[in-house]
Amino acid sequence: MVVIDVPRADRQDRPVYIGKDMFSGSFRRNGEGDYHCPRESVKAMLRDACVETADACLLDELTVDDLCSKTIRSYRNRFKSKKPGHIWNDLPDEEFLVRIRAARRGEDGKVHPNLAGLVCFAEFGQIMDILPDFFLDYRERLSTDTRWTDRVAAHDATWSGNIYDFYLMVYDRITSHVKVPFEIDSEGLRVEENEIHKSLRELLANALIHADYHGRRGIVIEKQAETISFSNPGVFRVNKAVAVEGGTSDARNSHIFNIFALVDIGERSGMGLADLYGHWKKYSLPEPVISEEYDPDRVKVTAYTDSGQSTANRPKSAQESAQGAPKVPQGDPRPDQDPTKTRPRSGQDPTNCMV
């Protein structure tokens, strides 16, 4: 038997394709075969290959007045509570948004929000005008007697529908039924929260920070009695094994990353997934399952919040299921196995942020 290991191409080198047309010549290995990449996936690769992340795209047709003032006020209050003496607290909203990288001045000299400012601070309808596939959904089903025990969806018109408010509305919900082992801190008081709570909130932040907001099916958080899953559009920007090992941070949306980090949401160390496995092992919980799906591109993390869910009975990841199931082709199979592969030519400009 001869085994040839073909490493995953760096995001700056994708798409790797044959022939002269990247849209007709791009293929991706999925299980045992190579399958033609749909146009949507190729565009996602081009966005990820750019030095400047997609959320930096300036929206010249909008102004700060198009954003939700209530969300901006909520963010500024949190910023002030975290940094009470910071000089930015005295700035007007326009200048404050520029400083946190949610907006910048355009060629017309006026301040316009970028894509990060839009998804963080606009209302759902305004976001949908720019990103028609944008969607946020938290689904909680703790009982089989009802369809939903609780639900928070961006389209229900009872709140703004942006990702900052979504985080605030959901972050306590995802940990409300987590069982806490009896622990005492150094002052003799019971520990009400542990690493499980922190990791779940980190997973929520990661789903919002690393999502491809041009992708389909939106961000979906599903909480059940023994599990909670986080899924978002887009695939890993680094090799999955590297992401799980930790220490490498490569945010798909660096401006959203910065906006969240300024108010202590999310971390910059790249250790989120590595810590996840360590914390679940510490509390004798089944190992989390991380899957990467294609067409449409999605990453899904499923964490088990009850040790009663045995490893033997847990649902299999997409990769595990594929090993024992017939292959279902995704896209058109490669017409040949020609190893000749071509990177994007210098004359092709993939930097259009709305590609």
Res. 203: pLDDT tops 70: yes
Determine the straight-line distance between the first and last CA of the chain, rounded to whole angstroms. 43
54-185+193-323 CATH choice from 3.40.50.2020, 3.30.565.60, 3.30.465.10, 3.90.1150.10: 3.30.565.60
Res. 18: pLDDT tops 50: yes
Q: pTM of the full predicted structure? A: 0.73
Residue 325: band (very low, low, confident or very high) from pLDDT cuts 50, 70, 90: very low
Residue 271, token pair as written in the block: 């250790």
pLDDT at 267 (0 to 100): 67
Report pLDDT digits (tens) over 339-352. 444 444 333 443 34
pLDDT at 41 (0 to 100): 75
Res. 53: pLDDT tops 70: yes
Considering only residues 331 and 1, tell me which one the structure prediction assigns the higher pLDDT: 1
Report pLDDT digits (tens) over 19-41. 777 777 777 766 666 777 777 67
The answer to whether residues 327 and 32 touch, using CB atoms and an 8 Å cutoff, is yes
Mean pLDDT computed over 89-98: 97
The answer to whether residues 11 and 242 touch, using CB atoms and an 8 Å cutoff, is no
pLDDT at 305 (0 to 100): 86
pLDDT at 272 (0 to 100): 58
Residue 129: band (very low, low, confident or very high) from pLDDT cuts 50, 70, 90: very high
Q: Could you tell me the residue ranges of all domains in the chain?
A: 14-49, 54-185+193-323
Question: Where is average pLDDT lowest: 128-132, 144-148, 179-183, 224-228?
Answer: 179-183
pLDDT at 178 (0 to 100): 77
Q: CA-to-CA distance for 55 and 47, rounded, in angstroms? A: 10
CA 275 to chain centre: 17
pLDDT at 348 (0 to 100): 41
Residues 6 or more apart in contact with residue 198 via CB below 8 angstroms: 279
Residue 308: band (very low, low, confident or very high) from pLDDT cuts 50, 70, 90: low
Report pLDDT digits (tens) over 269-286. 545 577 888 888 888 889
pLDDT at 185 (0 to 100): 64
Report pLDDT digits (tens) over 214-272. 998 899 999 998 899 999 998 875 566 666 665 556 678 999 999 999 999 976 554 55
pLDDT at 139 (0 to 100): 95
Report pLDDT digits (tens) over 291-302. 888 888 899 999
pLDDT at 334 (0 to 100): 44
Res. 335: pLDDT tops 60: no
Res. 165: pLDDT tops 60: yes
Residue 74: band (very low, low, confident or very high) from pLDDT cuts 50, 70, 90: very high
